[in-house]
Amino acid sequence: MTPVSALQVAPSATTGRLSLTWGPAAPGSVSMYEVHRIGGIAGGATELIAKLVNGETTFEHAMPTPGAPVQYQVVAHYADETRDVSPWVSYAPPPLEVPALSIVANYNKPTISWQELPGVRYKLLKTPQPGVASYPPIHVYPFGSNSSLLSAGGLKSISETLNKYQDPTGPLADLHHVMHFQMIADNGRGEVIPGQWVPYQPTPHGSATGATGSYWVVPQSNGTRNVLGCVSWDLIPGAAHYGLSIMHGSMTQWPAGHGNPVAPNMSKILLLVAALAQGELTDPVTVRIHPSFNGVVDSQHTADVVLREVQPLTAC
């Protein structure tokens, strides 16, 4: 039996690597070992992947792509210009599989995690309605120029804002739509496995309840009158901030410079509702409270407050 005939191939103690070992030759008798490979990403072509000139009898190589069997051969070149060739030794990596998705709820910005194997291309897609042509899946991960990179393996995790999806007729409604995620695994050798669509229902949260409001008219020195409003509401756990809009007759305005957006720990605000040059405030004044979560206004949990007039001026 020659030294290279004892070639063995097995997973290395180093993650994502294969270990090749063979028996030692007589000291000084071997000038070089060559390591050859067939299979893996290279398919049926034979590759010379290493020349070892220091008498090494071990070699580590990257773990082949899942689903892509590989064979190794070692050739010993002796000082007398003879050589020995090992038989081809096969190694079958784990089959290509789609990793399970783990989704942790966070209103409209869930965290999606999965476990990757080295040497595989992974793609994460999302759509509100799988299989519907008007809602084509869009790529969530990876991004841009990274789309063709091979994974180094390990746990991956991203946070994805649901409202990034745009349908062909305009922005998809708000963060309350169910979004579906799909993982695709590709070993680069023509084997592509799509996973199941996994639905995510955005976490429900409370409305701006307990909202009340009042207004009063304050005469100004120039003869005009300012209409001031005081609005309060119950805090909503998890809200990033609150926005306020004023609806007076046919007009809707966002009050600039009056705490818009309102900080998440504020539940009361004094704001200028209107400035009257003359006449009375005849139309009802409604203030709408818009809670926001992860940068998206929650249009389903707004609260409208019709202001009632109070006199005299009271504290807000």
The string of pLDDT tens digits covering residues 245-295 is 888 776 666 654 334 578 878 888 888 888 888 777 777 888 888 887 766
Is residue 90 predicted with pLDDT exceeding 60?
yes
Token couple for 14: 């180093």
CATH number of the structural domain spanning residue 277: 2.60.40
Domain boundary among 91, 122, 147: 91
pLDDT in tens, 198-217: 998 876 666 666 788 888 88
Token couple for 4: 């290279």
Domain extent for 115: 102-200
Is residue 120 predicted with pLDDT exceeding 80?
yes
Residue 291: what are its φ and ψ, rounded to 5°?
-75, 150
Bond into 204 cis (ω within 30): no
pLDDT in tens, 14-60: 877 899 999 887 777 889 999 999 986 545 678 999 999 998 999 99
The answer to whether residue 294 sits within a structural domain is yes
The answer to whether residue 248 sits within a structural domain is yes
Q: Is 315 or 275 the better-scoring residue by pLDDT?
A: 275
> Based on the domain organization, do 143 and 227 belong to the same domain?
no
**Per-residue confidence (pLDDT) for residue 171, from 0 to 100:** 43
Q: Are 125 and 136 in contact (CB under 8 A)?
A: no
pLDDT in tens, 131-165: 988 888 888 888 654 556 778 788 999 988 776 55
Dihedral sign of CA atoms 156, 162, 164, 169 in order: positive
The answer to whether residue 42 sits within a structural domain is yes
Rg (CA), the chain: 34
CATH number of the structural domain spanning residue 11: 2.60.40.10
The answer to whether residue 316 sits within a structural domain is no
The average confidence (pLDDT) of the chain is 81
> Based on the domain organization, do 107 and 188 belong to the same domain?
yes
Token couple for 294: 């992860």
Structural domain count of the chain = 3
> Based on the domain organization, do 194 and 230 belong to the same domain?
no
> Based on the domain organization, do 190 and 248 belong to the same domain?
no
> Based on the domain organization, do 76 and 108 belong to the same domain?
no
> Based on the domain organization, do 255 and 302 belong to the same domain?
yes
> Based on the domain organization, do 135 and 154 belong to the same domain?
yes
The answer to whether residue 205 sits within a structural domain is no
pTM, two decimals, is 0.56
